[in-house]
């Protein structure tokens, strides 16, 4: 099946929190989302509010091995979303060793090597950083520039 809405939606955790995040999560669920994700600063008490409101899985973003993942899991988190920058693969490996069955999503970056490293470390799913608009359009813009140069030379004839 193909969803007309995002599979997972962000519902806050930084500026937006508590009941507001829970309400956004309930709205996401009602509109067909398969799960929701909250940012790293989300407090355990807010996780409890959210998980008591929604029935879909809650993913919690983890940016450090010092975050209390055990407490978050006890509060209802069902997936961790590891976003540790250059340390992501090491963090995935660390949490995978503690929680062998826990679903782990991880940021993989842009390169094949960084993506492979988080997969090899034990991530179940990888978020890939897409190329920027400038990177995607560069070949086309170069072709336009070449075409424009050719046209300019032909216009002088």
Residue-wise pLDDT tens for the chain (157 aa)? 456 656 889 999 899 999 999 999 999 999 889 999 999 999 999 999 999 999 999 999 999 999 999 999 999 999 999 999 999 999 999 999 999 999 999 999 989 999 999 999 999 999 988 888 888 888 888 888 888 766 555 556 5
CA 46 to chain centre: 20
Describe the chain by its helix, strand, coil percentages, rounded to 5.
45, 15, 35
Quote the CA–CA distance of 8 and 36 in Å, as a whole number. 5
- The values of phi and psi at residue 58, to 5°, are -105, 125
- Give the model's pLDDT for residue 155: 59
Answer yes or no: pTM beyond 0.85. Answer: no
- Give the model's pLDDT for residue 36: 96
The HSE-up count of residue 76 (CA atoms within 13 Å, CB side) is 22
| Residue 37, helix vs strand vs coil | strand
Place of tokens 């509109």: 31
- Give the model's pLDDT for residue 1: 46
């Amino acid at each position: 099946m193909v969803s007309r809405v995002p599979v997972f939606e962000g519902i806050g955790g930084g500026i937006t929190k508590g009941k507001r995040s829970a309400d956004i999560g309930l709205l996401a669920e009602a509109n067909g989302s398969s799960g929701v994700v909250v940012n790293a600063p989300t407090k355990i008490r807010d996780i409890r509010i959210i998980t008591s409101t929604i029935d879909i899985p809650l993913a919690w973003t983890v940016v450090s091995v010092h975050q209390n993942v055990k407490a978050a899991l006890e509060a209802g988190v069902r997936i961790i979303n590891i976003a540790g920058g250059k340390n992501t693969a090491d963090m995935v490996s660390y949490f995978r060793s503690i929680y062998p069955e826990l679903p782990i999503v991880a940021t993989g970056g842009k390169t094949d090597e960084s993506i492979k490293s988080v997969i090899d470390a034990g991530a179940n799913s990888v978020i890939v950083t897409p190329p920027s608009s400038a990177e995607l359009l560069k070949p086309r813009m170069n072709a336009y520039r070449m075409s424009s140069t050719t046209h300019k030379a032909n216009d002088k004839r």
